[in-house]
Amino acid sequence: MAMIGCGSMGGGMALLFAEHGITVSLNDPSEETMDQLLATAKQDGLQDRLQKHSSYDHLCKSLGSPKVFVFSLPHGTVGDRVVDGLHTYLAKGDIIIDASNENWQNTQRRQGKLVPQGVFYIGMGVSGGYQAARRGPSMCPGGEERALDIVMPLLQKVAAKDSQGNPCVAKAGTGGSGHYVKMIHNGIEHGMMSALAESWQIMNLGLGMTYEEIADEFDRWNKDGELRGTFLVSIGADICRQKDDQGRHVLSIVEDKVVQDVDGTEGTGIWSQLEAVRLHVPAPSLTTAHFIRLASAFRADRKQVKDAFGGQFPVREWGEAKDDKKSILESLRRAIYATFLASFVEGINIIDQADQENRWNIDYSAVVQIWRNGCIIKADYITDMLADIFKEPKVDLDLLHNKRVAQELKQAFPALKETVTKGVEHNAIIPSLSATLEFLKYSTNTILPTQFYEAQLDYFGKHMFDLKSEGAGKPETGKHHFEWKLA
C-alpha cells in the first residue's frame, strides 16, 4: 500500500501498518519528512517495510493490484492535486482511502470524479491524535460497499480495540458519511473539551484547588459513575500533573489561545457548526464551545477590550466552598456529564438530518462501536447507553425523545443549574455549561419567549403566525397576520 502524506498522522499510520506486516510505500513533498520517518522505522525495527518514492510513477510501480493508497493530507485543494497527479496511474479496482480530516463534500465530489475510471474513493475519519495513529486509532470509513468490504480486514487489524477486543472501525455508510461522522465527532469533541476546561478553571480559580488536587478529582470522575472511562477526563489528569525539566507544571505556562480554527489547520470544527445551522439543528453546547475558541485566538484583541473596559470580570473565589467543597465538586461532575451527553445528543441529531438528506444509510450501532475506543470522545458510560438504544429496531434519532436519555439529563439538571448559578455569581467562564442548561430549558418548554418574538416579526415584516388554538403544527409559515399598525 502507499501512504501519501507522512506527517505526524500519516507517519504514525505508516509505522502502524508496517508493524502489522504490510509493506508501505511513502510519498511526501518533503524528503526530510520521509527521511525522519525512515529513521524512526529503523529505531522500531521496521526499516525493511517502508520505502520512499519521490514520484507517483515510481510509487505506483511499487504497488500490487489493486493499488491501495492512503491519504493523510491537509484538507482542501491538496487532495484534488494529488488525485489529479495519480490519475494516469489509476486502474479499475484501485482504492484510495482518504484518512485526512477532509470536508465531506470534497469527498463526495472526488468519489463521483473517479467513477468513470472504476476507482473507489473511501472517505475515512481517523481519531485519537498522532499517538493513536501510531498505536491504533478509531476509524470511520464511508463509501461503496464493495470497496469497504475489501479494506475492512486490513483496517480491523490495525484499529483500536474496545475492552472486549473488538476493533473500533466499522462501515459508517455510503458516500461521504465517513468524513461527515468524523466531522461531527469533532464538533462533539469541542463541546466536551470546553466543558472540561470550564470545570478545570472553576476548580483552580473558584475553589482554589492545586493542579495535583484537580488531577486527583479527574481521576475520581474517570473511575466510576457517568464519566467513567472518558478519554478527555483521563488526559485532563495527566495534563494537570505533567511538569517540565524545570519542575514547572507545563499547564501553567500554556497561553489561553486556541488558534486551529483561525490558522486554517482545523476545518471540522467550523464545518460542524455550519452544518448545525444549515440543517436547522439546535446545537448550543457545540456552537458556544466554538465561539470561545474563536475569542481565545485573538488574545491581543481581548487585551484591547480589557483596556477599554478598564479591567476584566475576574473569576472570584467561591467562599462557601470551604464548607461544602465535596457537594460542589459532585454537582460539577454531574454538570459536566450533562454537557457531555447533550453534546452527543446534538451531534447525533445533526448526523441524522444529514443522513436523511443524503441517504447514506448510516449504521448508528457501527458509529457507536467506532467511538468505543481510540477516539477523543471515548466515554464508556455514554457509549454503553447509546449501544443499548441503537439495538432497538426503530430508533427515534432525536435522542431527547428517548426516555432513558431524557431521564439521565433530567436527573443531572439540578446539578447543572446549581453549577451555572454559582458560576454566574462568581464570574466563572462557562459557555458550554450555561448553553447546555439553556438548551435543556428551551427544548423541554412549550411556553417560550418566542411567542413575543413571532409577534414582532409579524408587526414589522408581515411574517405571519400560527394560533395557539391550532395545535403544534409543522415548522411552516403561519396562516395569520394582524395589522398592528397601518402603513
Catalytic residue among 52, 67, 171, 182: 182
Can you list the alpha helix ranges (DSSP code H) found in 242-317? 268-278, 284-297, 299-309
Check residue 321 and give its pLDDT. 67
What DSSP assignment string belongs to 131-161?
HHHHH--EEEEES-HHHHHHHHHHHHHHS-B
Which residues lie closer than 8 Å to 367 by C-beta, 6 or more apart? Answer: 140, 170, 172, 181, 351
C-alpha cell at 320: 462557601
Check residue 318 and give its pLDDT. 87
pLDDT tens-digit series, residues 416-475: 999 999 999 999 999 999 999 999 999 999 999 999 999 999 999 999 999 999 988 889
Active-site residue, 182 included: yes
> Do 20 and 50 form a contact (C-beta atoms < 8 A)?
no
SS3 at position 363: coil
Q: How far apart are CA 53 and CA 28, in angstroms?
A: 8
Minimal CA–CA distance to 188: which of 297, 346, 334, 338?
Answer: 346
Q: Computed over its alpha carbons, how large is the radius of gyration of the chain?
A: 25
Q: Which residue has the cell 447533550?
A: 342
Residue 243 has pLDDT above 70, yes or no: yes
222 residue type, one letter: N
Catalytic residue among 189, 266, 275, 346: 189
> Do 264 and 224 form a contact (C-beta atoms < 8 A)?
no
SS3 at position 14: helix
Q: What is the mean pLDDT of residues 18-27?
A: 96
Which residues lie closer than 8 Å to 295 by C-beta, 6 or more apart? Answer: 302
Residue 148 has pLDDT above 80, yes or no: yes
Confidence of residue 38 (pLDDT cuts 50, 70, 90): very high
User: How much of the chain exceeds pLDDT 70, in percent?
Assistant: 99
C-alpha cell at 112: 463521483
Residue 60 has pLDDT above 90, yes or no: yes
pLDDT tens-digit series, residues 200-242: 999 999 999 999 999 999 999 999 999 999 999 999 999 999 9
Q: How far apart are CA 343 and CA 198, in angstroms?
A: 15
pLDDT tens-digit series, residues 304-347: 999 999 999 999 998 776 678 999 999 999 999 999 999 999 99
Check residue 267 and give its pLDDT. 87
Q: What is the mean pLDDT of residues 274-294?
A: 96
Instruction: Name the region of 310 (left: φ>0; alpha: ψ -120 to 50; beta: rest).
Output: left
Q: What is the mean pLDDT of residues 84-95?
A: 96
Active-site residue, 330 included: no
Helix 321-358 vs helix 268-278: angle between axes, to the nearest 10 degrees?
70
